[in-house]
A and B are shown apart, each in its own frame.
Chain A
Amino acid sequence: MVDFEGQKFVETFTVSVVSSTASVGFVLGYLLQDYDLMRNLIFAGIVASVVVTLPSWPFLKRNPIAWREIDDEHPSAKEEDEIEEEDDEEAKKDKKENALKRMIRRVFV
């Protein structure tokens, strides 16, 4: 997973490369009266951004988030255990809903 530093780099890289190729391409294309030159320059910028930023390259994962260790003594951990012990149908339903919510959160947040 690309970390926050990597995401920041991706954002800066894409915006600067695409907008600079667009502006340089526009000025050069207008001065040399060559539309294809402008178009090819912008496409080159887009392709460069695709290659550099789309795959999860290792250099985008160099600053992983330091998560806290799981604390078994924490009250919230205990609560979860208690819920698991209950064997109600309703609890199962709740669990399913929670899983769905977690999945949605994973996709959209």
Chain B
Amino acid sequence: MGHTIWIRANSLFTFASTALALVAILASITDIWHTAEPDVFLRVKSVERFRPVSPNAHRKKASSNNNEVNDEASLNFQLRLDLRPLFSWNTKQIFVSIDADYETERNKRNTISLWDSIVTQKTNALLNYQNVRNKYRFIDQGTHLRGREVNYTVRWEVMPVAGKLYGGKKLVERVKMPDEYVN
């Protein structure tokens, strides 16, 4: 330590930031043995609307190079996500999303994010909804959705205060789309 305020300030803040860094590292280490699975329930209650849409429908002039028609579905879910076990003392927020995964002749792998949410507090971490509509549009590339088996996956990403991100996923439902369009 020094005889001037600047040397004292320098060594104090250096030591303090070292201590803070050390504590942050230790806190991120405690997350290693915090392993938890959320309680996940998801059910596709109904397909409210299911029809082919043209991406150029809103344009006055039809584009010559893209007159393709794509299937779009509007879904209604029942959702119960208990994310409370995921929270540890070192958790800042949790991101959850519902993804639809399916395979078509055109694409080997399709993944569409239908709904998501950010939970920042443990007291708000029990999500229980009777009716959830997809937040983001469920549009196929082409018209392959009729009668298609679609897998619904819940994914979560945990963002800690200090340390690395980690997450997981759980396949919750495997539902066949209706064979005919629904208005």
Q: Which residues of A contact B (CB under 8 A)?
A: 1-3, 7-8, 10-11, 14-15, 18-19, 22, 25-26, 29-30, 32-35, 38, 42, 46, 49-50, 53-56
Contacts and interface: CB of A to CB of B under 8 A. Distances in A.
20 contacts: A1-B3, A1-B4, A7-B2, A10-B1, A11-B11, A18-B15, A18-B19, A26-B26, A29-B27, A30-B27, A30-B30, A33-B88, A35-B27, A42-B19, A42-B23, A49-B16, A50-B12, A54-B5, A54-B9, A55-B5
Query: How extensive is the interface on chain B, given as a class?
Result: 20 to 34
A2 B23 CA distance: 31
B5 A15 contact: no
Contacts of B151: none
A14 B15 contact: yes
A49 to B, nearest CB: 6
Contacts of A46: 12, 16
Interface in B1-44: 1-5, 8-9, 11-12, 15-16, 19-20, 22-23, 26-27, 30
B26 to A, nearest CB: 6
